[in-house]
Structure 1
Amino acid sequence: MTATVPAPLPAAELARLTGRLHADGIIGLPGAFTRDWVRRLGEDIDVAFAEARARPDGAVGRGPHRFYVEIHPEQLRGFADLVTHPWITAVAESVLGPAYRIVEVGFDVPLAGAVDQPWHRDFPMPAETARDRRLTSLAVNVTAVDTEPDMGPFEIAPGTHWDDGSAFEHGMFPPRAAYPRYRELAARKFPKMGDISIRSALTVHRGTANRSAKARPVLVLGLDAPGAGNDARHDTAVTPGFWAALPESVRAHLDCPVVDVLRPITQKHTIEGLVMGESGDAG
């Protein structure tokens, strides 16, 4: 069950949220879901993570002791709750347009011993964003645990989604000479179970060192404007029964194959995994 949220969002509140997203590159909503809902999410992530680590290339490294796994929607019992949450749908429609697409479902897991990632964005800046200052994709994050200071919290530099990335390695990794600015801008995030955020994956960010004995799994839902092209990096599919049970409002945004048997996903985004092997925050 989701927490009570106005549906639709009042126009003034939606304008405030999208304005802050445009300015900062990230917004958050505390208490969007109940803790029981998030416990079920955590259980589903645990099952999928164990399965992915048991097969070759199932879990992609994003630095030492840090993994990413892409999954199919029906591996999450709460998928429909998530993608119909009125706060998410209202922001997605406003920023990406009414025909936005659901292109990715996955999760990041920083384990004990994960080190500071290099500052990065998740993919190169699209031409439309550089030319028109228009965001063509959004990432929704849902923590599966209460984030504590020693668990390697997510760190983000607000406003950097507009930074010129022409000097970034692979269009994603800024030079170390830029690190002092990101450290000065940086905000560490400590979401609790039930909180969600929406961000531009272009906003420069990093996972920090996990000095605890606990994992910090975070669900990732990727949304695209029509034609953004991030679906080429992903292999989302559903079975006929799952597809038929989804509300029409979800099927309208989920453009993916309907297959008799789901095949485990091998993540295609490999450059990041190579560069994320670096550690430390030199510079």
Structure 2
Amino acid sequence: MRSAEAEALYTAGITARRGAFEPEWADRLREDIEDLFDEARAREGGAVGRGPNRYYVEIHPERLRGFVDLVTHPWVRSVAEAVLGPDYQVVEAGFDVPLPGAVNQPWHRDFPAPDETTRGGRLTSLAFNVTAVDTTEEMGPFEIAPGTQWEDGAAFDHGMFPPKSDYPRLESLAERKLPQRGDVSARSALTLHRGTANRSDTARPVLVLGFVASGADTSRNDLVVSRAYYEALPEDVRAHLGCRVVDELEPLVQKHTIEGLVMGDA
């Protein structure tokens, strides 16, 4: 029998744990994200556009003070094990920042659906999201169309972007999420979703961690940690970290360009 969280991911495509952390933990996360965002925008290729006034930045896990707290949280571990199996791997760490003036994104999934999902009915990846602010309606909340993780995407541009003729259907399904500091959510990256227009004067930074099942395609990912950090991690964290270990970290050049998101929803 599936857990309630696994059932939610297999049906709606999203689940959440309210108050997984104290708000003060999320405040430290925001401080780290703001510092990393400033660094990323100061160098060529440090941040990638996901639409007007919207950015994604992939990061080194050790630059987050709360990384180990998050990947060892009992709820996060239980969801990952229930959906992805006991040998799941953490393969991506990054954050989205919709700034004031960000517009509606096109409806999309994060990558084309693999055969294991479209033919085998199995989810092989999850995205865990952690807001760094208390989200309001004006800040461009995340919208998701429950159940769409099972659509094969054959008619989607690049297997990711449904035609605009599908938008009325997706908007009729859409659920708008307003997470608060300390909340953690998990979703299938295949469930169609979008960021909405940020009409506030405040950025809405969100941490994203990518988890995959053992044997899943990780060609899009390249998580990197330093040897000193890796060796200092608890063994049960190292066992679930799908990463490269290097002697010295170098600034990351972003690889996750998604051309269809650059202009937003025209």
Query: Normalized against structure 2, the TM-score is what?
Result: 0.97
Q: How does 1:1-283 map to 2 (within 5 A)?
A: 15-230=3-218, 232-270=219-257, 272=258, 274-280=259-265
Letter in 2 for 1:258: V
Letter in 2 for 1:175: P
C-alpha separation in 2, matches of 1:88 and 1:279: 31
Work out whether residues 234 and 267 of structure 1, in 8 Å CA contact, stay in contact via their aligned partners in 2: no
C-alpha separation in 1, matches of 2:96 and 2:46: 13
**3-state SS of the aligned residue for 2:8?**
helix
Work out whether residues 109 and 161 of structure 2, in 8 Å CA contact, stay in contact via their aligned partners in 1: yes
**Alpha-carbon shift at residue 237 of structure 1 (Å):** 1.4
**Alpha-carbon shift at residue 280 of structure 1 (Å):** 3.6
Query: Which aligned segments of 4 or more residues in structure 1 are displaced greater than 2 angstroms?
Result: 277-281
Pairs aligned (count): 266
C-alpha separation in 2, matches of 1:50 and 1:63: 18
Work out whether residues 118 and 278 of structure 1, in 8 Å CA contact, stay in contact via their aligned partners in 2: no
C-alpha separation in 2, matches of 1:45 and 1:251: 23
Q: Deviations over 1:67-96 (max 9, x none)?
A: 000001101011100000111111111111
Work out whether residues 73 and 79 of structure 1, in 8 Å CA contact, stay in contact via their aligned partners in 2: yes
C-alpha separation in 2, matches of 1:112 and 1:241: 38
**Alpha-carbon shift at residue 40 of structure 1 (Å):** 0.8
Q: Deviations over 1:25-52 (max 9, x none)?
A: 0001100001111111111101111111
C-alpha separation in 2, matches of 1:38 and 1:277: 28
**3-state SS of the aligned residue for 1:253?**
coil
Work out whether residues 116 and 280 of structure 1, in 8 Å CA contact, stay in contact via their aligned partners in 2: yes
C-alpha separation in 2, matches of 1:86 and 1:224: 17
**Alpha-carbon shift at residue 235 of structure 1 (Å):** 2.4
Letter in 2 for 1:174: P
**Unaligned residue ranges in structure 2 (runs of 5+):** none
C-alpha separation in 2, matches of 1:177 and 1:256: 40
C-alpha separation in 2, matches of 1:280 and 1:140: 25
**3-state SS of the aligned residue for 2:246?**
coil
Work out whether residues 46 and 252 of structure 2, in 8 Å CA contact, stay in contact via their aligned partners in 1: yes
Work out whether residues 108 and 193 of structure 2, in 8 Å CA contact, stay in contact via their aligned partners in 1: yes
C-alpha separation in 2, matches of 1:128 and 1:235: 22
Work out whether residues 102 and 221 of structure 1, in 8 Å CA contact, stay in contact via their aligned partners in 2: yes
C-alpha separation in 2, matches of 1:187 and 1:65: 23
**Unaligned residue ranges in structure 1 (runs of 5+):** 1-11
C-alpha separation in 2, matches of 1:16 and 1:233: 30
**Alpha-carbon shift at residue 180 of structure 1 (Å):** 0.5
C-alpha separation in 1, matches of 2:222 and 2:160: 22
**3-state SS of the aligned residue for 2:6?**
helix
The aligned counterpart of 1:6 is none
Letter in 1 for 2:57: V
Q: Which has the higher strand share?
A: 2
RMSD across aligned C-alpha pairs, in angstroms? 1.2
